[in-house]
A = this chain, B = another copy of it.
């Protein structure tokens, strides 16, 4: 069995939550007043145990025996439902939700850490819970009391599961081109018609019902994203008493087969094709969520949460790969150190080779840094909601806006790189399916694409987030980073801070250059992905300086390791930004000018 010590480091979670992000201080706030560090720890322990005992054991099986479409129904190994039911029964599904809705009213910070155990153990099975929670959160924020009663409660009980249905065959990244239609009916419901693609958890037999949240266009709505409305479309209709009844007109067309996340069904669904005729009529019955044509804003509530969740999942996959390759490197012996080549001497441990330590340090800096970033975002969600001062709430909102594309993309890219290094540390064993790390690598490869590709995140950061409110969010980020720099007054911390300061200054300068009034649109966005890469590395350097400072100079191996990883990041990683900034600063047009006929 995979013990929890190979999933995440409990020691590091404690450091990040308490020593650095001061989670315990939240218990002074009214929303969290029922909690204490003890209840936080109890939830972490419970999740670690459930993850190790219920999720990790079938991670490989759910990959090799992925869900199958048999006679129009999805068959999957029974361990998935057993694991999800155990989570629901333990009451931790709605950890951060209101108590009145059936949640534990935990800080998002703690809930993000708790969920990471499941993501590290078995991201394919956990995805069902992840989508259900995100769906429930959206309905709690934007749904009617009746919708909450009818759909959210059963989801938190583990009886229903949720999805988000945005993409269509012709509209993946381009939400403006969504064409699913919604026709109003006299009873206040709508009838939907259209096809939805890439729907994770779109079909299965894990519960009594599936609650689809669907973006569609009400007849007569404007073109583009301003004409999108959001609907609850349950797979089966639910009456006023909450009883699941007649089948709605939502039909499974087929499943996609993926290189990773194989345990998570990914479906093409047809809405309103007449396969079922609820109430004797064609069309999928949908309930409008919020106001007409305001669907995208509501869906972004779910999508922003999902994006940070994708980053958290990527970090968790990277983390478990790191721990497994570290464990392997500590026990496997191979070769001898430079200058000690006598074949009569015993072989050295892998971890004794500097190049292996380089691969381990790189992983450590990626995964502990990425986890730090997503936990920091979790804390911002709490600040946004519960900070006593309005200015602090506004600051948190601003930072969340600008950090979300980075929290989605950076872990997806660099914790995939971590998994690549985890394979490399294992040598030939690393690419065999008898070991775990090749699956983590395949699972993690989905993260830079789903919930908005790397390219989309780059456009979001450069085209929206750094310019919104006259650049207020970027300015806020700059002030926040400079506040950290100001605290790093001594010794090595001061050296790192000086380098971070230089990098931040460059980031702000290239942003001004790119958004100068005389830059044309094509040039401006020519290197938006590199801008995202560069901003990501600057943010992570800041996260590492924060963690460096949080060690307080103590000399135990754990804290020395934190400073070592920070040092590695500043020496080996942050300098990568130099060439990226050079390209951005000169408004390089190589890709803009490239004639497609020459490719």
A442-474, CB under 8 A of B: which get 1 and which 0? 100110111001110011000100000000000
Contact A257–B434 (Cβ < 8 Å): yes
Pick the contact of A358: B259, B355, B448, B591 (CB < 8 A). Answer: B591
Which segment, of A87-95, A396-404, A519-527, faces chain B?
A: A519-527
Whether a CB of chain B sits under 8 angstroms from the CB of A75 is no
Contacts A334-B174, A434-B257 hold; do A355 and B591 have CB atoms under 8 A apart? yes
On whether A338 and B172 interact (CB within 8 A), knowing A343-B224, A445-B441, A599-B561, the answer reads no
Most chain B beta-carbon contacts within 10 A, residue among A339, A427, A582: A427
A433 and B599 within 8 A (CB): no
Q: Which residues of B sit under 8 angstroms from A172, Cβ to Cβ? A: 334, 427-428
A335 with B173: CB separation less than 8 A: yes
Q: Does A438 belong to the interface (CB within 8 Å)?
A: yes
CB-CB under 8 A for A428 and B599, given A355-B529, A361-B594, A564-B594: no
Residues of B within 8 Å of A432, CB to CB, are 256-259
Task: Take A591-B354, A597-B557 as given contacts and tell me if A339 and B521 are in contact as well, using a CB distance cutoff of 8 Å.
Answer: yes
Q: Which residues of chain B are within 8 angstroms of A463 by Cβ–Cβ distance?
A: 338
- Nearest B residue to A348 by beta-carbon distance? B174
Which residue of the partner chain B has the closest CB to A353?
Answer: B455
A260 in the interface, Cβ–Cβ < 8 Å? yes
- Alpha-carbon distance between A171 and B346 when the two chains are bound, in angstroms: 12
Interfacial residues of chain A within 157-211, with CB under 8 A of chain B in the complex: 167, 170-174, 176-177, 197-198
Q: In the assembled complex, which residues on chain B have CB atoms less than 8 Å from the CB atom of A360?
A: 599
Given A198-B428, A557-B598, A596-B352, answer yes or no on A590-B568 (Cβ-Cβ < 8 Å).
Answer: yes
With contacts A338-B521, A558-B598 known, what are 11 further pairs, Cβ within 8 A? A339-B521, A353-B455, A355-B525, A356-B455, A557-B595, A560-B598, A561-B598, A567-B590, A568-B590, A572-B579, A575-B582
Q: Can you list 27 A-B contacts (CB < 8 A)?
A: A172-B334, A172-B428, A223-B343, A256-B428, A256-B432, A256-B434, A258-B431, A258-B433, A258-B438, A259-B438, A338-B521, A338-B524, A339-B522, A353-B455, A355-B458, A358-B591, A361-B594, A364-B599, A424-B453, A427-B453, A431-B446, A557-B595, A560-B598, A564-B590, A568-B590, A576-B576, A579-B579
